[in-house]
Amino acid sequence: MQPYRYHMPTAVHLGRGLLRDVAASLCGPESRPLLVTGRRSARASGALDTVTERLPNTVVFDRVDENPTAAACETGAAFCRENACDTVIALGGGSAMDAAKAIALLATNPGRCRDYFGSGLFDTPPLPVIAIPTTAGTGSETTPYAVLVDEEQGRKRTIGGAGLFPRVALLDPELSVTMPRDVTVNTGLDALSQAMEGMLSLKSTAFGDLLALEVCRIVRRWLPRAAEAPDDLEARAQMLQAAMLSGCIIAQSGTTLVHGAGYYLTLEFGIAHGLANALLLPPVFYHNARHEPHKVAAVANILGRPAADDPDEAGAGIVNGLYELYDELGVSPAARDAGANAERLAWCAEDLYGDASRFKNQVGDFTLEDVQRMYSDAFQGTVTRC
Ligand SMILES: [Fe+2]
């Protein structure tokens, strides 16, 4: 067994209407929070007004785009310091939460984002972060990571460190009812991917494995419901819970090749993060079944495809179980249907193969040919050895 440490310091509050208690329960009236959010959705849903009415000292930074850049976070941190904010509230999806963490870090530490890409490279604790997700997928509310686009290198890079765990995660299902259907589906598939990857990571733990099976069960049962009935608050609460739990898993075990390869689909073709992972899950998990058939079979079981602890059966079970779920959600398993381009994918395979960090935590060895086949399978929506 690998040695490990399990650490999850974020206080989780889950309940309908919780946002209305934000002032009383989280900050206190004297606090001067910086609220980090995107340009539109929190404003349109009224969530932004709910916070600013209850916390009149709030300063708003609403310049976070999907896939936040290091430069945007540096601007946000300067704004945070100018306004002498003492807390950072993240209101939005993974982009807002990751940007908020980077801003909280740069508000108390010198330099730029690129000085902190890596793990634990800062000395002073960041400002406390209160994470209020409006999507249900990335689990950033319970992770110590901020994933940013480093424009200088054209890559996604991660800042990590225990000080980046949000102090509080506030999960209010009323905030996610306005999420568009495609965002509901894509972010929900990110939660599924994170749970499955965490369970198969070389750094998996018993805590994470238990949570992962529960996340798979919740997503299988409730994601189709949340997609079809956006006002169903039970489905929304269940999916918020699944996302939060998936964050608890990857906070310990990290993600694997699915995320590592998925980042290319997002940066090269603009494919949404969760969908990019979903497209890579079948080929990567078919591979994983060769190394950890009992774990893959356990997930296949939950996805409704009972399989024995045998590499072939577990591999076929997981691939078919995923395809069935995608079909129910109206998601094509083929990256070509999401805008990928075969020629450019060949470049992605070579670049990915040359970057050892993308294989961190991944079981088994991959040759360049394996990576090319993985992308080609994802492109066509088939698994060739299945
Ligand atoms: Fe993710």
Strand partners, 179: none
pLDDT of residue 23: 65
Tokens matching residue 198? 């965490």
Tens digit of each residue's pLDDT (9 = 90 or more) over 294-329: 999 999 999 999 888 899 999 999 999 999 999 999
CA-CA distances (angstroms) from residue 15 to 111, 130, 133, 259? Answer: 38, 16, 13, 30
d(CA 323, CA 303): 10
pLDDT tens, position by position, 255-305: 999 999 999 999 999 999 999 999 999 999 999 999 999 999 999 999 999
Q: What percent of the chain has pLDDT over 70?
A: 98
Among 62, 57, 120, which Cα is nearest to 90's?
Answer: 62
pLDDT band at 27 (very low <50, low <70, confident <90, very high): confident
How far, in Å, is the centroid of ligand 1 from the Cα of 28? 32
Percent of the chain surpassing pLDDT 90: 86
Q: Flag whether pLDDT at 24 surpasses 70.
A: no
385 confidence band (pLDDT: 50, 70, 90): low
Q: Is the Cβ–Cβ distance between 249 and 203 less than 8 Å?
A: no
What tokens appear for 4 in the block? 């490990």
**pLDDT interval class at 386 (50, 70, 90):** very low
Convert the pLDDT of each residue in 225-249 to its tens digit.
999 999 999 999 999 999 999 999 9
For residue 273, report the distance from its CA to the centre of ligand 1, in Å.
Answer: 7
Q: What is the pLDDT of residues 360-369, one digit of tens each?
A: 899 999 999 9
CA distance 191 to 197: 10
Asked if residue 126 has pLDDT above 50, the reply is yes
Q: For residue 274, how far is its CA from the centre of ligand 1 (angstroms)?
A: 6
Give me the sheet containing 168-171, strands edge to edge: 11-14, 168-171, 129-133, 87-92, 33-38, 59-64
Cα of 190 from ligand 1 centre, angstroms: 5
DSSP 8-state symbol, 165: S
Lowest model confidence (mean pLDDT) among 42-56, 120-134, 308-322: 42-56
What's the gap in Å between 207 CA and the centre of ligand 1? 19
Task: Give the pLDDT band of residue 155 (cuts 50, 70, 90).
Answer: confident
Ligand 1 centre distance from Cα of residue 158 (Å):
12
Query: Looking at the predicted structure, is the pLDDT value of residue 118 above 60?
Result: yes
Looking up tokens 């508000």 gives: 107
Please give the model's pTM, rounded to 2 decimal places: 0.95
> Rounded to the nearest whole angstrom, what is the distance from the C-alpha of residue 123 to the centroid of ligand 1?
27
Q: What is the pLDDT of residue 42?
A: 86
Cα 191 to middle of ligand 1, angstroms = 7
Centroid of ligand 1 to alpha carbon of 194 (angstroms): 6
Q: 56 Cβ partners below 8 Å, 6+ apart?
A: none
Q: What is the mean pLDDT of the chain?
A: 94
Q: Which residues of 123-152 are buried (b: 16+ CB within 10 A; e: fewer)?
A: eeebbbbbbbbbbbbbbbbbbbbbbbbbee
Distance CA 182, CA 77 (A): 31
d(CA 385, ligand 1 centre) in Å: 26
